Amino acid sequence: MRKYRLSILLIICTGTVFFALCKTNVLKNLVQQNKFNKIQVKPTEGLKEIPKTGPILPGEKPINSVKPVETEVKPRVIKEVAGLVSVTDIDNSLFIDLKYSTADNFTGKVIYPVTVCLLQKETAQKLMKANTEFKEKGYKLKIWDAYRPVYVQKIFWDIVKDSRFVANPAMGGSIHNRGTAVDLTLLDSYGDELKMPSKFDDFSANAYRNNSKMDSEARKNMNYLTDVMKRNGFKTIDTEWWHFEDSNSSEYKIVDVKLDEFLKKESLPLN
């Protein structure tokens, strides 16, 4: 029995050694035949690159740099008809108080169907420059009238047939009909009108620039208003202190554009 157990133990040991040797030879052959290779993993595979937070050295390129998106700059759009533009499209800080779009005027009636203040584009740009100069001193311009359609000029002439104050439409009309004249005054920083020689559309000697009875404060304010307006390309008339004309008015012709029709026109690019 003892001999039988020794024989079995010897067989088991011999089989174990043989199996180990066979396994070693198989692995060796696999390696030699390149059937058992190591899997190489790149160090950065599966990892996100962290942008460099420090300064970029010469020769370096920023990581994950984003190219700026180029946006198209569209030209400023403004409505322009027969050379006329809305003055608030040029300077929206102007105070608009068109007297003829209300009943608060010498006719006692509403004359303009809409409240839109128009001037020739170049005249409006001069007005903006003057207003900018006034604003530097704490003032700003208040507009009572600007471009005036031809049919309105006829209404005014029928009421006041006095060429000192209203131009005869049959004799060439008014500079207002060209869009190069503006009636205005000055406001202080509180929005109050500065004292001037007279009220607007005062068809008397009180509105004359050379009125000898003019109050000293009114004369001072009128002169200040006049100096700045002239410096920015305007001229005056003797009988209305509030009336200013573009110094290049003679270069423009009379245009007849109804104010409500102006609002219906398409907008055009400002060159």
Positive or negative, the CA dihedral 75, 79, 84, 90 is negative
* Residue 136: active-site member: no
65 in a structural domain: no
Does residue 262 share a domain with residue 155?
yes
Average pLDDT, the chain: 82
Task: Find the CATH number of the domain harbouring 238.
Answer: 3.30.1380.10
Give strand pairing partners of 245: 181, 235
Judgement on whether residues 142 and 229 belong to the same structural domain of the protein: yes
Q: Same structural domain for residues 17 and 146?
A: no
Q: Assess if residue 93 is contained within a domain.
A: yes
Residues 269 and 85: their CA atoms lie apart, in Å, by 12
Regarding whether 133 and 20 lie in a shared domain, the answer is: no
pLDDT at 43: 52
- The predicted model scores a pTM of 0.69
How much is the pLDDT for 227? 98
* Res. 31: pLDDT tops 50: no
For 126-184, write each residue's pLDDT tens digit. 999 999 999 999 999 999 999 999 999 888 888 877 677 777 776 778 899 999 999 99
Q: Which tokens sit at 231?
A: 């410096």
Q: What angle do CA 203, 208, 209 make, to 5 degrees?
A: 150
Contact 140, 93 (CB under 8 A): yes
Whether residue 59 lies inside any domain: the answer is: no
Let me know how long the chain is: 271
Q: Is residue 237 part of a domain?
A: yes
Q: Clarify whether residues 3 and 107 are in a common domain.
A: no
More confident site: 151 or 19: 151
CB 159 within 8 A of CB 106: yes
33-89: pLDDT as tens digits: 554 444 454 555 555 555 555 565 666 655 555 566 666 666 667 889 999 999 999
State what percent of residues in the chain have pLDDT above 90. Answer: 56
Q: Is it the case that residue 32 has pLDDT exceeding 80?
A: no
The catalytic residue among 240, 245, 251, 261 is 240
Q: What pLDDT sits at residue 9?
A: 56
pLDDT tens digits, residue range 183-197? 999 999 999 999 999
Segment among 114-118, 127-131, 156-160, 222-226 with least mean pLDDT: 156-160
| Strands 140-145, 243-246: pairing kind | unpaired
| Number of structural domains in the chain | 2
DSSP secondary structure code for residue 60 in this structure: -
pLDDT of residue 57: 60
Residues 27 and 83 in one domain: no
Q: Dihedral angle at the C-alpha atoms of 240, 246, 249, 252, nearest 10 degrees?
A: -120
Q: What is the pLDDT of residues 205-215, one digit of tens each?
A: 999 999 999 99
Same-domain check for residues 114 and 185: yes
pLDDT reading at 7 higher than 90 = no
> Quick one: 89 and 195 in the same domain?
yes
Q: Which domain holds residue 197?
A: 79-269
H helix or E strand, kind and range, residue 268: strand 268-269
